[in-house]
């Protein structure tokens, strides 16, 4: 069994891999995208016994969506969405300095999934239909937000330049 923590940013991922005793086996900063996923697979393969499948890898990450998470789930890894507050509390538990670093957060996530996976929510792979509904719902939500934003901008412009139009 391997445990990995993935601290993600917009353009990279800091990853730490631990064994069952919590010893760090490897650490890497990976780029976002296919190249990064390929390097992550290679990193995990270095430490995973040959007879073990990808379901023997537990990965903690602070999100439950996006192409990176979808790729992890599709590869067969067990991915756990960790609430950022949970990881912040775990960071406080593991160190007293309060310093935050990407590599340190990857360590905290790996350790958290190693010790508390039974308390975390596992990300489930969805069917194509469920993915479509989710994408449609997010697009609908984004369109409503855009419409609201445009209406508020229009009202502000009218209030500044033509207030009588608001009363009409």
Q: What are the residue boundaries of the structural domains of the chain, listed by start?
A: 2-122, 128-167
pLDDT for 65 equals: 85
pLDDT for 96 equals: 57
Which homologous superfamily does the CATH classification assign to the domain defined by 2-122?
ATPase, nucleotide binding domain (3.30.420.40)
Q: How far is CA 62 from CA 87, 113, 151, in A?
A: 8, 11, 34
Q: Give per-residue pLDDT as tens, 15-52.
A: 999 999 999 999 999 999 899 999 999 999 999 888 88
pLDDT for 99 equals: 60
Which of 124, 130, 52 is CA-nearest to residue 81?
A: 124
Instruction: Name the percent of the chain lying above pLDDT 70.
Output: 92
Instruction: Name the percent of the chain lying above pLDDT 90.
Output: 42
Tokens of 127: 């069917």
């Amino acid at each position: 069994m391997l445990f990995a923590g993935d601290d993600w940013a917009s353009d990279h991922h800091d990853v730490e891999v631990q064994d069952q005793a919590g010893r760090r086996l490897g650490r890497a900063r990976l780029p976002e995208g296919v190249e990064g996923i390929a390097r992550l697979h290679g990193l995990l393969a270095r430490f995973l016994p040959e007879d073990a499948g990808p379901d023997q890898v537990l990965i903690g990450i602070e999100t439950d969506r996006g192409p990176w998470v979808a790729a992890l789930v599709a590869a067969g890894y067990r991915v756990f969405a960790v609430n950022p507050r949970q990881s912040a509390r775990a960071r406080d538990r593991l160190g007293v300095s309060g310093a935050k670093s990407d590599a340190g957060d990857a360590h905290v996530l790996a350790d958290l999934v190693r010790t508390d996976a039974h308390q975390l929510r596992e990300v489930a792979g969805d069917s194509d239909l469920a993915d479509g509904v989710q994408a449609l719902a997010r697009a609908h939500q984004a369109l409503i937000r855009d419409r609201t934003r445009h209406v508020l901008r229009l009202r502000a412009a009218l209030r500044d330049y033509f207030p009588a139009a608001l009363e009409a």
